[in-house]
Structure 1
Amino acid sequence: MKLISWNVNGIRACVNKGFLDYFHKVNAEIFCLQETKCQPEQIQLQLDGYVQYWNSAEKKGYSGTAIFSKVKPLSVQFGLGDDFKENEGRVITLEFDSFYLVNVYTPNSKRDLSRLDYRLEWEERIRTYLMELDTIKPVVLCGDLNVAHHEIDLKNHKSNQKNSGFTPEERAKMSTLLQSGFVDSFRYLHPNKEDCYTWWSYMNKVRERNIGWRIDYFIVSDRLKGSIKEAEIHSEVLGSDHCPVEIELTI
């Protein structure tokens, strides 16, 4: 089973930059989006053979997630449950026969770290949620998790030590998640591969120079790691400041 995850930084803009060409070419069973920045009624995507699920933010033109799946799920949940309300459309969970798929767009701590406390609270809640699901079925978590975990995961780690997305607190939360029974699929297959990034600033042609961050992930329950056939980054695909990431599982 092939799965794709992509922060499209506005699906309507991405469609105008070749999204559908890539979508049809890659032919994934499941395609997850983050930062859709639209309400479902604002775009009509004709995706034959796929069921579509959208979780949009109350604020128009902001955040949002979507999943397009060839396989109809057993159940669908939006958000993280009644005990953690959020109105930014950041989570969709699909239940399949043998696993849960959780598509996430993690809140950014902001440049001045004014949202760091909320971000850390979010991290605790999402970890608890994933662990609860994992007691029932294995979990596949994907999305823009807005953190570069290790120094190898961004180009200029020395100058970003206390910046949003690479703070000690955010990195520690990622470590805690992985220590709770989950595996970073890309690093599982490519533990020492350098210069592999999924996001680049639009400034100063940094993408052309590959000055980036790896902040988009497929993370799976530990007992699924033997099912990881491929975990790839499609940095050649344009249309957003992020690129798609892929996982292929023998599920």
Structure 2
Amino acid sequence: MKVISLNVNGIRQAADRGFFEWMVRQNPDVVCLQDVQADERSLNDSVFFPPEFNTYFFDSIENPDQAGVAIYCKTMPKAIMTGMGFPECDFEGRFIQADFDKVSIGTFLTPHGSNHEDALQEHKYRFMEGFKNHLIKTRRKRREFIFCGTANVARSPIDVSSWFVNQRNSGFLPEERKWINEIFNEHEYIDAFRQVNKQDKQYTWWPDYERAWKLDEGGRLDYQITTPGLRNIIQGGSVYKGQRFSDHAPLIMEYDID
């Protein structure tokens, strides 16, 4: 099973940059998109709905032009679930999940946070706490899960450029790194990409200006997080940098799942 995850930072922008043509050529089984920034009803062009895929959106109730997530599936899911049961997620369209025979695949979008506005950073922390609680509850279920999305947190120094300076910035604060490493260590979830790729500078995000992209100054803010039972069937992982569809790059993972 090939699973692609991408923060599109606006689905219309990504489409204009050729994302959907690239996506179809990749022949994935599931594609998880974050930060769609569009009401599904406003997406009238067929480019957003390739005939090869079943498509499901979860829009922001508060502002359809912000946040939002989507899942594209080759196989029709047995069920679709939206939300995780707390306002920072459910009112803002930050989680959708597709259930298949052997695995459930969800896509999530953590808020950006802020170095300068305490309210925005607190909003991020509330989402993080709610998401962690959801992951804890998920461990009690008798099936496997893959959670794809933007955590807006770099896990360790090899996951961000200028790591020493960035310890003062949202996205690499000590509290944020403690949160994500607790998910992988205490709660035993698997960082799928790091399971198969230990190299440094494997970034998935760069500030939206050319210098950062050219110098490869960014951060690994995007993840595919799996339940422990999938650890040994993760076959490969890569970050696609051949084209720029947004300020994030597609994360491509392969699993030994039919």
Sort the Cα spacing of 1:175 and 1:113 in 2 relative to 1 into closer, same or farther, 3 A.
farther
Conservation of the 8 A alpha-carbon contact between 2:59 and 2:92: yes
Shift of 1:85: 6.0
Is 1:186 matched with 2:189? Answer: no
Determine the C-alpha separation between the residues in 2 that align with 1:214 and 1:109.
Answer: 16
Structure 2 CA distance for partners of 1:132 and 1:18, relative to 1, 3 Å? same
**Offset of 1:235 from its aligned partner?**
2.0
Equivalent positions of 1:1-251 (< 5 A) are 1-43=1-43, 44=45, 45-58=48-61, 59-81=63-85, 86-112=90-116, 114=118, 115-136=120-141, 137-179=143-185, 180-191=187-198, 193-203=199-209, 205-251=211-257
Distance in 2, Cα, partners of 1:203 & 1:159: 19
Question: How far apart, CA to CA, are the structure 1 residues paired with 2:103 and 2:87?
Answer: 23
Q: Provide the C-alpha distance between the structure 2 equivalents of 1:243 and 1:203, rounded to a whole number of angstroms.
A: 14
Q: Structure 1: which 5+ runs fail to align? A: none
State the shift of 1:181 in Å. Answer: 1.9
Instruction: Give the gaps of 5 or more residues in structure 2.
Output: none
Report the AA paired with residue 228 of structure 1: I
Taking a change above 3 Å as real, the CA distance of residues 230 and 113 of structure 1, as seen in their structure-2 partners, is farther
**SS of the residue 1:207 aligns to:** helix
**Structure 1 counterpart SS, 2:25:** helix
**For the Cα contact (< 8 Å) 2:52–2:74, is it kept in 1?**
yes
Question: CA offsets per residue over residues 134-158 of structure 1, 9 Å max, x none?
Answer: 3221110111110001000011101
What SS is found at the alignment partner of 1:130?
helix
Give how far 1:80 is off. Answer: 0.5
Contact 2:86–2:130 (Cα < 8 Å) also in 1: no
Root mean square deviation, CA, Å: 1.6
Q: Matched residue of 1:92: which SS?
A: strand
Q: Against the structure 1 CA distance between its residues 84 and 166, is the aligned structure 2 distance closer, same or farther, given a 3 Å change threshold?
A: closer
1:102-128 deviation per Cα after TM superposition (whole angstroms, max 9, x unaligned): 200111112325223332222222122
CA 1:66 to 1:205, structure 2 compared with 1: closer, same or farther past 3 Å? Answer: same
Which moves more between the two structures, 126-135 or 214-223?
A: 126-135
- Looking at secondary structure, tell me which structure has more helix per residue: 2
My pick for the range that moved more, 230-239 or 64-73, is 230-239
For 2:138, give the aligned amino acid: L
